[in-house]
Chain A
């Protein structure tokens, strides 16, 4: 009986919620499934009450271009654009969404085109951010 009680508790909260998760995104959307999987991981973690943030660096910053009205038939099961999911992240308590300034400028990305919730960070901050989260997953 005790065992069963334990198991049901574990199913709700398998990871200690005191540990914060950082999802590091380094790939552009659509070319591979990695970008999609990083969002699914963040959403799943958020749904389980885990404190989860996302860091977009290198090619990952392409994910933040706000293109939520576009429909990409065949790219995703729902036909929804990647950025539609990005814009939904705060609803699921995923955040902050951190974007490396240098990666953006190297690619000529207009900051005005970014998802509303993207937070631009200085490149020197990246190391501190990587160190400050207890769990880091790289996509």
Chain B
């Protein structure tokens, strides 16, 4: 199982859309740093292809997370509601890394 970390906003970088096609069933995707701006890309109209990909990947047991500390730092707490990304704290981040065979950084 690979943990994919994405640290750039999907509105300024291709990181997230480059990452998603390379995610295998059972993998995990974690938004960190400016990557957390992607928390609601799944509901934004301009990001429809990303939305569809995320929904399709969820059916193959791919898990989507977002780092809560980075969400808080950017004042995006209210965006968590209805998001397809589950918030994790630093401890959860460590657990994800520990449970993964390897970590792949998309930056």
Interface residues of chain A, those whose CB is within 8 Å of chain B, are: 24, 26, 57-58, 123, 126-127, 130-131, 134-136, 138
B2 touches A130 (CB 8 A): yes
Q: List 8 A-B contacts (CB under 8 A).
A: A26-B18, A57-B18, A126-B22, A130-B22, A130-B24, A131-B2, A136-B104, A138-B106
Residues A138 and B107 in contact in the complex (CB < 8 Å), given A123-B21, A126-B22: yes
Taking CB atoms, residues of chain A closer than 8 Å to B106 are: 26, 138
Taking CB atoms, residues of chain A closer than 8 Å to B14 are: 58
Please, how many angstroms separate the alpha-carbon atoms of A135 and B107 in the complex? 18
Q: State how many residues of chain B have any CB contact under 8 Å with chain A.
A: 13
Q: Which of the residues B18, B24, B107 comes within 8 Å of A127, measured between beta carbons?
A: B24
A138 touches B22 (CB 8 A): no
Please, how many angstroms separate the alpha-carbon atoms of A24 and B22 in the complex? 12
Q: Is the interface of A mostly helix, strand, loop or mixed?
A: mixed
Please, how many angstroms separate the alpha-carbon atoms of A126 and B27 in the complex? 14
Apart from the given pairs A24-B104, A127-B22, A134-B102, 11 other A-B contacts in the complex at a CB distance below 8 Å: A26-B106, A57-B18, A58-B18, A123-B21, A127-B24, A130-B24, A130-B104, A134-B101, A136-B102, A136-B104, A138-B105
Q: Which chain B residues (1-40) contact chain A, with CB distance < 8 Å?
A: 2, 14, 18, 21-24
Please, how many angstroms separate the alpha-carbon atoms of A58 and B2 in the complex? 19
Most buried by A among B2, B22, B106: B22
Chain B 60-80, CB-CB to A under 8 Å as 1, else 0, gives: 000000000000000000000
Please, how many angstroms separate the alpha-carbon atoms of A126 and B19 in the complex? 11
Q: Which of the residues B23, B24, B101, B104 comes within 8 Å of A138, measured between beta carbons?
A: B104
Please, how many angstroms separate the alpha-carbon atoms of A56 and B2 in the complex? 18
